[in-house]
Every structure is written in C-alpha cells, then in structure tokens.
Structure 1
Amino acid sequence: MRYHSVDDEQTDVEIGVPVPDGVTGEGTIVAGQLPGGRVIVIVHLGGHDRLSEAYNRIEEWLTAHNGPEGAAWEVYEWIDLSTEPDPSRWPAPSEWRTEIVQPVR
C-alpha cells in the first residue's frame, strides 16, 4: 500500500497485489513499479491504530538527514497474497508485522 496523498476529499493510493501474467489494467487500474534507490525501513509490530508511532520515528530521522524522496509504502507481512485472503485466519492485530519503506535523498 502506498499513499501519495490523503485529504478530506480524495486519496491517491497504490495497492500492490500479484496478478496473473498477461492481465492488464482496466479503467483507473494500471500497472506500476516501485522506485529503486536508497530507503530507510522500519518494522512496526502491532495493530495499525499505533502505526503513526512508526511514521513519527521516520519523520524524526528524515528531519535529521536529507529528507524524503517520494511517498513511503507499507508491506503487510501478516497477509499472504499468494492465497485467497481470509481475515478469519489472520493473526491478532497485536502480532501484525508491517514494514514501512521510505525512499530518501
């Protein structure tokens, strides 16, 4: 999940999921690619109600260094996208591992 912008009226978000070869986008769904280059990574363990704590730590680091180079993205390590999603089989939110990847200058 990659949030480019979020406000009260509109959100611009990318969602990365595996798709079969040969499938192309339709309508407003298009193929994309994450940028290469330098990043910082933080892993948050727990529910998303406290994910802002990890983002605050990233912001502190960015303030002390060169700053961001584009939008961060989140990798939900607790969801197996190679199978049909089944929320009843997901671990408790206290066990969720979410990786935040922030491109940097």
Structure 2
Amino acid sequence: MKFEMTEVSERPYLYVERTTGMDPDEIGAAMGAAFGEVAGFLQEHGIMATSAPLSAYYEYDPEKLTFRAGFPVAPADLERASGNVEAGTLPGGRVMTFTHVGPYSRLRDSYAALMAHMAENGLEFGGPAWEVYVDDPAKVPEEDLHTLVYVSIAEPE
C-alpha cells in the first residue's frame, strides 16, 4: 500500500450523523441507511452531488463509531440543509492519503498500516479522517472496491 502526503482544499458536504457499535455489519447497515437518507434529500431538493459519497470521522472511540455520511455539494447548497441533513466542510490542509482496495470490513487493517507509517515518520493525526467511496458496492465485487482515504495531519507546534 502506498501512502502519500498531499494538500487538499476545503470540501463542502451535506450529511447525516450516526453512531453504531463496531460490528462491520451494523456499520454497513447504518451507513447504507444514512447515504440513502441524504441521497433522497438531494433528489427532493434538486441538489447535485459534486463527487462520490463520503464518510467523515472526527473522533476515535474503540467501543463505538460515530460518522458523518453524505455527499460533497457546491458551497451555495450548504444553506439548504434542513431536518436531519446537516451542512459541513471538510478542512483543507495537509493529509496522508491512500487507496484501499477490497472489502470495507478490512479498512481498519489499512488504517492500522497508515498509523504505523505516520508514527515511523513522526506524524500525528490531526482530525478528521474521511473516506470517498469510488465504486458502488451494488455493482462492483467486494474484493475490487476502491476507497480513497484521507487523514488530516496535525500541524507541528
């Protein structure tokens, strides 16, 4: 797996936030429902996603997973958030990035490898981390799914 450091621009998105246990099936069901809710909101309000769906993680807890699942949108569409659908902006700045290929259930292994790489290079997690789901799991076999992962790097003090 190849890890790269790069700079990214801010990315506005509309999302719903969910919290689940750490069971991959529970996470998958909650994430699928969350994406469906936001996709329905976008369609109902005539909002176009600007790229593939994403989920963002702002904190780490070994017992539970809290995520924001949604879609990048044009900045002007942020003000249209309502109900359960909220507006947010992923930060710009330095990130470590890599492409995970394979089942979502193995993403934690890729994150572990990234964290080891960061520790070896004196880098610290700055929050948030986010994933962009390139492939549709309804159309692409699990072993061929591509997920782009971005992890914000803490700025040196």
**Normalised TM-score (structure 1):** 0.75
CA distance in 1, matches of 2:100, 2:82: 34
Give distance in 2, aligned partners of 1:97 and 1:52: 14
Question: Runs ≥4 in structure 1, deviation > 3 angstroms?
Answer: 5-8, 18-23
Q: Does 1:54 align with 2:110?
A: yes
Q: Is 1:37 aligned with 2:114?
A: no
Which amino acid in structure 2 is aligned with residue 77 of structure 1?
V
Cα distance change on mapping 1:12 and 1:27 into 2, 3 Å: farther
Identical amino acids, percent of aligned pairs: 26
SS in 2 for 1:70: strand
Counterparts of 2:96 and 2:72, CA distance in 1 = 24
> Which position in structure 2 is the counterpart of 1:82?
none
| 93-102 or 12-21, larger mean C-alpha shift | 12-21
Partner of 1:24: 80
**Residue 144 (structure 2) aligned to one of 79, 89, 95:** 95
Higher helix share: 2
List gaps (5 residues or longer) in structure 2. Answer: 1-54
**Which residue of the partner structure matches residue 68 of structure 2?**
14
- Note the aligned Cα RMSD (angstroms): 2.5
Q: CA deviation at 1:66?
A: 2.3
Instruction: State how many pairs are aligned.
Output: 96
Give the CA deviation at 1:19: 5.7
Unmatched 5+ stretches in structure 1: 80-85
